[in-house]
Amino acid sequence: MEENKIPQRFLDNIVISLYFTIAYAVLIIVYLGLPFSVSSNFLLILFIACSLIFSIGAIYFASKSYSKTKISSVILIMINALGLLIPLTLLLLLI
């Protein structure tokens, strides 16, 4: 029987992408948990910048391992692409 082993570097990329996704989810929970009096324009801009970095980083690492781990890469790319819509929508509302 043929073994379909996935190299460790591809699995590491998936794990890094998953870490970025979890960090982005924690960022959203923390930002939404702040009272409205605390959230200011500076915090909104900081949230947008961090969420863009986390989403793009997660998409980058998931796409690096797409050739071997197609299903998990596609799932992570789709989740982070949807997560990328949140800061882009906020940016459009600020302009």
Measured CA to CA, the distance from residue 4 to residue 2 in angstroms comes to 6
- In tens, the pLDDT along 39-56 reads 677 888 888 899 999 999
Whether residue 2 has pLDDT greater than 90: no
Task: Transcribe 1-18 into DSSP letters.
Answer: ----PPPHHHHHHHHHHH
- In tens, the pLDDT along 61-70 reads 999 988 888 8
Collect all residues with Cβ–Cβ distance below 8 Å to 5 and sequence separation of at least 6: none
Domain boundaries, the chain: 8-94
60 within 8 A of 26, measured Cβ to Cβ: no
Whether residue 76 has pLDDT greater than 70: yes
